[in-house]
């Protein structure tokens, strides 16, 4: 295959054949096709798009570039979820034990945070001792024994996506629907679950800034996953403000624990209930989402969700005292600075992306892979969009071990809040369910 001919074909907006796509992916993974040719392809695909058949073949070739996890030794229905990335998004920490508590099996591979969005592995690693590097045998055994395990994605899973994503990040080709959908679905298919819920974010903190764009992505994710024989559904949710009250690793674990105890923020719980109910219906363990919600509040209020989370923490070597006493045991920053409200009014919006970037400056995130994270760093926002605030109220609390960064970041945090004299209608958290 002449790679430049394939590039010209995509540049001119023509669809590629199965052979051409498969050769492109296998050649890139083996090193026969250099970065500059793949970068040219990605830009052409970004501009000209890929049709449904091309996207399917592209995704399949990515799945086949590595190992597909065989979850068949685990009895029961295996469920998975994927978020397109948000700020303050600690959903997995609550949703995964919720699903295990209702009897579904959660064999979940998660990622690390990059850019302004956080990652589940970093949050879990803020619990002293928590091990995300399980062997395949440990992973399967733990899910069989207690119904839940969360580990890091291994090098063997979807190596094509790792290499391609690294290039997309550097070539301004991330926000393309077929490229995002193939990247996400290839990892989920390789992860082996039967039922998948996609948590597609729309708004200032998300890849998809508008609801229309998010809908297109959600439809593509669901139909692509179904083409691989998966049960799939997407929930489109509002990422025009951070989810919950905290951004940053141990701060988010603390909030997740509070939520599992019944004291969490309404938005986090609402999203977990919606995602969980969709999974339960698609898995066929309840007939309606209403019934699913009833079951979910039963397990949450009965303490079974927190008990599952604790079982997982113990099984993966984490210190369970972090759950009993998160403020005492989880890492915390030495310096805390408050930003106060200057003028009374209603919070109209809280720019999630700006707060995500600010939390990264404070130490909570990475600029590039391999950067050290400060687990205690982050931001707490006690007030949310729609709330009325008075001068002197705390708008945000910044946590960091770097006093210079606190001073340098406070303007950015302050500017993330838009406060107006008159109240505004606040958009709903859940926009739409795409089946
Ligand atoms: N998340 C992914 O896993 N891949 C993308 O391309 C975008 C978000």
Nearest CA to ligand 1 atom 6: 180
**188 alpha carbon – ligand 1 mean position (Å):** 11
Atom of ligand 1 at shortest range from CA of 184: 3
Instruction: Give the DSSP letter string of 375-389.
Output: TT-EEE----TT-EE
Instruction: Give the DSSP letter string of 120-188.
Output: HHHHHHTSTT------HHHHHHHHHHHSEEEEEPPTTS-HHHHHHHHHHHHTT----HHHHHHHHHHHH
Dump strand ranges (E) for 14-94.
78-83
Which CATH number does 330-420 carry?
Answer: 3.90.1170.30
- List the domain boundaries for the chain: 3-49, 78-324, 330-420
Residue, of 113 and 51, whose pLDDT is higher: 51
pLDDT at 372: 86
Q: Quick one: CA torsion of 151, 105, 365, 377, rounded to 10 degrees? A: -110
**What residues form DSSP beta bridges with 419?**
347
Strands 231-238 and 246-247: unpaired
- Using DSSP's 3-state secondary structure scheme, residue 202 falls into strand
Long-range pairs, 135-139, Cβ under 8 A, ≥24: 136/69, 139/107
Mean pLDDT of all residues belonging to the chain: 96
Read off the pLDDT band of 169 (50, 70, 90).
confident
Output DSSP code: residue 344.
Answer: -
Atom of ligand 1 at shortest range from CA of 165: 6
pLDDT at 399: 98
pLDDT tens column, 192-215: 999 999 999 999 888 899 999 999
pLDDT at 371: 81
Residue 400 host element (H or E): strand 394-400
pLDDT tens column, 228-278: 999 999 999 999 999 999 999 999 999 999 999 999 889 999 999 999 999
Angle at 427 between CA 423 and CA 428, to 5 degrees: 130
Nearest CA to ligand 1 atom 2: 184
d(CA 236, CA 293): 18
**What residues form DSSP beta bridges with 232?**
196
Read off the pLDDT band of 133 (50, 70, 90).
very high
Read off the pLDDT band of 117 (50, 70, 90).
confident
Nearest CA to ligand 1 atom 3: 184
Q: Which of 59, 207, 224 to mutate to test the pocket of ligand 1 (most atoms within 8 A of CB)?
A: 207
Nearest CA to ligand 1 atom 7: 180
**189 alpha carbon – ligand 1 mean position (Å):** 14
pLDDT at 72: 97
Among residues 320, 354, 322, the alpha carbon closest in space to that of 339 is found at: 354
Which two three-digit tokens encode residue 339? 């930003």
The answer to whether the CB of 420 falls within 8 A of the CB of 389 is no
Long-range pairs, 139-143, Cβ under 8 A, ≥24: 139/107, 140/71, 140/73, 140/74, 140/107, 142/312, 142/315, 142/316, 143/71, 143/74, 143/78, 143/105, 143/106, 143/107
Phi, psi of 213 (to 5 degrees): -65, -40
**187 alpha carbon – ligand 1 mean position (Å):** 9
pLDDT at 170: 87
- pTM for the whole structure: 0.95
The answer to whether the CB of 249 falls within 8 A of the CB of 357 is no
| Class of the domain covering 3-49 | mainly alpha
**What residues form DSSP beta bridges with 379?**
247, 398
Atom of ligand 1 at shortest range from CA of 187: 3
pLDDT tens column, 344-376: 999 999 999 999 999 999 999 987 767 889 999
Half-sphere exposure in the Cβ direction for 162 (13 Å, CA) = 13
Provide residues with CB under 6 Å of ligand 1. 84-85, 165, 174, 179-180, 183-184
Q: Which of 109, 184, 220 to mutate to test the pocket of ligand 1 (most atoms within 8 A of CB)?
A: 184
Chain mean position to CA 401: 26
In 264-324, alpha helices (H) = 266-283, 289-301, 304-315, 321-324
Q: How far apart are the first and last CA of the chain?
A: 39
pLDDT tens column, 384-407: 999 999 999 999 999 999 999 999
Kindly list the catalytic residues: 82, 161, 168, 183, 187
Per-residue pLDDT averaged across 294-317, rounded? 98
Strands 345-350 and 388-389: antiparallel
Task: Give yes or no for residue 318 having a pLDDT over 80.
Answer: yes
Half-sphere exposure in the Cβ direction for 223 (13 Å, CA) = 13
At the topology level, CATH places domain 78-324 in: Pyrimidine Nucleoside Phosphorylase; Chain A, domain 2 (3.40.1030)
**180 alpha carbon – ligand 1 mean position (Å):** 5
Task: Give yes or no for residue 9 having a pLDDT over 70.
Answer: yes
- Using DSSP's 3-state secondary structure scheme, residue 315 falls into helix
Nearest CA to ligand 1 atom 8: 84
Task: Give yes or no for residue 118 having a pLDDT over 90.
Answer: no
What percent of the chain has pLDDT above 90? 91
**84 alpha carbon – ligand 1 mean position (Å):** 6
pLDDT at 114: 66
Task: Give yes or no for residue 87 having a pLDDT over 80.
Answer: yes
Cβ-based neighbours of 432, under 8 Å, separated by 6 or more: 211, 215, 218, 235, 236
pLDDT at 174: 87
Q: Which of 114, 152, 181, 183 to mutate to test the pocket of ligand 1 (most atoms within 8 A of CB)?
A: 183
């Amino acid at each position: 295959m002449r790679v430049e001919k394939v590039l010209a074909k995509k540049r001119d907006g023509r669809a590629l054949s199965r052979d051409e796509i498969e050769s492109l992916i296998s050649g890139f993974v083996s090193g026969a096709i250099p970065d500059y040719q793949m970068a040219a392809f990605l830009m052409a695909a970004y501009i000209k798009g890929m049709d449904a058949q091309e996207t399917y073949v592209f995704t399949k070739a990515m799945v086949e570039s590595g190992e597909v996890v065989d979850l068949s030794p685990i009895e029961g229905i295996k469920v998975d979820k994927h978020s397109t990335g948000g700020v303050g998004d600690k959903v997995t920490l609550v949703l995964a034990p919720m699903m295990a508590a209702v009897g579904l099996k959660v064999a979940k591979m998660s990622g690390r945070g990059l850019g302004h969005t956080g990652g589940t592995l970093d949050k879990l690693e803020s619990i002293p001792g928590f091990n995300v590097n399980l062997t395949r045998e440990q992973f399967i055994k733990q899910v069989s024994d207690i119904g839940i395990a969360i580990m890091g994605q291994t090098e063997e899973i979807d190596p094509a996506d790792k290499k391609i994503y690294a290039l997309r990040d550097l070539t301004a080709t991330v926000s393309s629907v077929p490229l995002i959908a193939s990247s996400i679905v290839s990892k989920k298919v390789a992860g082996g679950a039967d039922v998948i819920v996609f948590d597609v974010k729309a708004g200032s903190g998300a890849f998809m800034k508008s609801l229309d764009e998010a809908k297109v992505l959600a439809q593509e994710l669901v139909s692509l996953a179904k083409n691989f024989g998966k049960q799939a559904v997407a929930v489109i949710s509002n990422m025009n403000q951070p989810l919950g009250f905290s951004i940053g690793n141990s701060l988010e674990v603390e909030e997740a624990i509070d939520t599992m105890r019944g004291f969490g923020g309404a938005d986090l719980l609402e999203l977990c209930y919606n995602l969980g109910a969709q999974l339960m219906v698609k898995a066929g363990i309840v007939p309606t989402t209403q019934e699913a919600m009833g079951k979910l509040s039963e397990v949450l209020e009965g303490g079974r969700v927190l008990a599952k989370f604790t079982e997982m923490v113990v099984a993966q070597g984490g210190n369970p005292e972090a759950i009993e006493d998160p403020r005492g045991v989880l890492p915390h920053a030495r310096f805390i600075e408050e930003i106060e409200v200057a003028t009374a009014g209603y919070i109209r919006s809280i720019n999630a992306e700006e707060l995500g970037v600010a939390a990264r400056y404070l130490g909570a995130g990475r600029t590039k892979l391999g950067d050290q994270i400060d687990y205690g760093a982050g931001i707490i926002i006690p007030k949310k969009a729609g709330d009325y605030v008075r001068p002197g109220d705390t708008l945000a609390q910044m946590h960091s071990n770097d006093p210079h960064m606190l001073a340098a970041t406070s303007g950015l945090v302050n500017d993330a809040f838009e406060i107006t004299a008159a109240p505004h209608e606040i958009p709903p958290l859940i926009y739409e369910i795409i089946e």
